[in-house]
């Protein structure tokens, strides 16, 4: 079988495994080495030190699998906003859509493993290595070269018909395949003069087209950042508990519905009914049970509760003070400290009384500082 027919066959197998689109690219050194190094050099990766690591492999994916020469890239849609959609009033209203159901890593990995097994069965001499957003792979560049989409000004990969609501995965192959042409619609035509995403980003995380500054990105602060949130980041978080969809929601290419998403990505019923206040009260065992198989586990329980406390201070919804009062009794100093900050933002006599009483028996220095600072603002 020649390389063109084999490429077509492998792409058809990918679709049979449930992926929405597939494409092939040659595995060659990155064409974006200089922009990537500039991004790291500016510190736009914020605290994600792992992004600066393994540079050689990121910029030359042939190092990841000996004698690899091609890559099979795949895309899988997830649930975009629906016309007339109503917020549930629960925790998931404040969560990026990709994280409302089961972990996409699991779904993608299972499908890629089955795809790799089929390749091995039919082409036993071919070696493979699959990735799903976990290895030192510049997967958007590979997918763009495989015709899956083009880079948008918000740095997401965009498809003219499917928008940007999709996950990416790839299988590296020790096999020569005819590559697909890059996306037919050039980047300049895809976005044109549109700048909705840049204008809509509330924190300035998109300071220029095709550039993301993670230091101002809501997703970075709510997912990747560990430990206490700097005061300036707390306002940035706004009402987002985990991730952010703003730059995708405003993109005109996302107006048209894409293919139906797998049922695994639908909002989880157990987590849908959980409120921000109830999240603050979860113990470790309940968290493990409720968030099993969820991508939200990346932030860990302490991170989610930290975020929930901040969101309650930012949105000042009904019951916020009562929920934060209970959070002042959390066994985790970081949660108590962020609850104190939020009570300082909400203000009022009740908040002042709660903070004063909590301060009397607080033993953690940083939590005490947060309580004192909150009281000083009242």
Report the SS3 class of residue 170. Answer: strand
Instruction: Write out the H or E segment, with its range, that includes residue 76.
Output: strand 70-77
Q: Which of 60, 93, 133, 364 is catalytic?
A: 133
For residue 133, which of 103, 163, 159 has the smallest C-alpha distance? 103
89 phi, psi to nearest 5 deg: 90, 0
Identify whether 245 is a catalytic site residue. Answer: no
Radius of gyration of the chain (CA): 23
The string over 344-373, giving b where at least 16 C-beta atoms fall within 10 Å of a residue's C-beta and e elsewhere, is bbbeeeebeebbeebbeebeeeebbebbee
Q: Which two tokens stand for residue 362?
A: 């607080």
Q: Which residues pair with 157 in a beta bridge?
A: 151
C-alpha dihedral sign at 216, 218, 219, 223:
positive
Tokens of 168: 């990416």
User: Which DSSP string corresponds to 109-145?
Assistant: HHHHHHHHHHHHHH-TT--EEEESS-SS--HHHHHHH
Query: Which residue, 25, 351, 372, 370, is CA-closest to 168?
Result: 25
CA 147: distance to chain centroid?
A: 22
Judge whether 142 and 73 are in contact, CB under 8 Å.
yes
How far apart CA 37 and CA 52 sit, in angstroms, is: 9
Distance CA(302)–CA(315), nearest Å, equals: 20
Cα(276)–Cα(241) distance, integer angstroms: 9
What length is written for the chain?
Answer: 378
Nearest residue to 262 (alpha-carbon basis) of 143, 64, 132, 106: 106
In the block, tokens 């975020």 appear at: 307
Residue numbers annotated as active site: 133
């Amino acid at each position: 079988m020649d390389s063109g027919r084999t490429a077509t066959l492998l792409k058809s197998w990918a679709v049979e495994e449930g992926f929405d689109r597939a494409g092939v690219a040659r595995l060659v050194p990155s064409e974006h080495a200089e922009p990537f190094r500039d991004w790291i050099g500016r510190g736009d990766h914020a605290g994600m030190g792992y992004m600066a690591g393994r540079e050689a492999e990121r910029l030359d994916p042939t190092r990841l699998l000996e004698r690899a020469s091609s890559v099979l890239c795949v895309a899988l849609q997830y649930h975009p906003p629906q016309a007339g959609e109503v917020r549930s009033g629960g925790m998931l209203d404040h969560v990026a859509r990709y994280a409302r159901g089961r972990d996409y890593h699991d779904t993608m990995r299972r499908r890629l493993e089955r795809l790799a097994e089929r390749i091995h069965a039919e082409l036993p001499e071919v070696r493979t290595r699959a990735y799903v957003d976990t290895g030192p792979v510049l997967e958007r560049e590979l997918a763009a070269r495989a015709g899956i989409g083009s880079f948008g000004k918000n740095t997401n990969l965009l498809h003219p018909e499917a928008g940007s609501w999709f996950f990416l995965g790839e299988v590296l192959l020790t096999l020569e395949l005819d590559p697909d042409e890059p996306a037919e619609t050039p980047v300049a035509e895809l976005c044109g003069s549109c700048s909705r995403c840049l204008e809509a980003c509330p924190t300035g995380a998109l300071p220029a087209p095709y550039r993301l500054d993670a230091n101002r990105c809501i997703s970075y602060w709510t997912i990747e950042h560990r430990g206490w949130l700097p005061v300036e980041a707390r306002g940035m978080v706004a009402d987002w508990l985990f991730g952010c969809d703003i730059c995708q929601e405003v993109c005109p290419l996302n107006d048209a519905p894409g293919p139906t998403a797998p049922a695994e990505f639908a909002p989880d019923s157990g987590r849908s009914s959980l409120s921000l206040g109830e999240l603050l009260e979860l113990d470790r065992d309940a968290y493990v049970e409720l968030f099993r198989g969820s991508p939200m586990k990346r932030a860990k329980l302490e991170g989610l509760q930290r975020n929930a406390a901040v969101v309650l201070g930012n949105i000042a919804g009904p019951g916020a003070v009562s929920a934060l009062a209970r959070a002042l009794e959390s066994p985790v100093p970081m949660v108590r400290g962020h609850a104190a900050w939020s009570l300082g933002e909400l203000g009022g006599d009740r908040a002042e009384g709660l903070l004063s009483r909590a301060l009397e028996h607080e033993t953690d220095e940083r939590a005490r500082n947060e309580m004192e600072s909150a009281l000083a603002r009242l």
